[in-house]
Amino acid sequence: MRFTATIHVRPKAEVRDPQGEAILGALGSLGLGVTSVRTGKEIVVTFDADDEAAARRATDTMGRELLANPVIEDFRVELGTA
């Protein structure tokens, strides 16, 4: 089966996010009452796996081994069929 997964990566809450801090400063100038900004990224992958369980294992490995650094980042996966 062919799957498409969107993997969202974000810095952990206790790790500083310099890009978020810069955006916070910029949004502050718009006067919209923004008090906190956290940034992240999303990676969309298309891949083949036998079934949904195998696809979940695959995306978990992608996240742990490369797409996120568990020391500083968390990730979550949205899985769908292509």
List of residues contacting another protein (CB under 8 A) = 11-12, 14-16, 18-19, 21-22, 65-67, 69, 71-72
* Closest to 11 (Cα-Cα) out of 81, 69, 52: 69
Task: Name the minimum Å distance from CB 19 to another protein.
Answer: 6
Contact call for residues 42 and 21 (beta carbons, < 8 A): no
Residue with smaller CB distance to another protein, 21 or 48? 21
Tokens of 82: 């292509």
Residue owning tokens 């996120």: 68
Task: Name the minimum Å distance from CB 27 to another protein.
Answer: 15
Task: Name the minimum Å distance from CB 26 to another protein.
Answer: 11
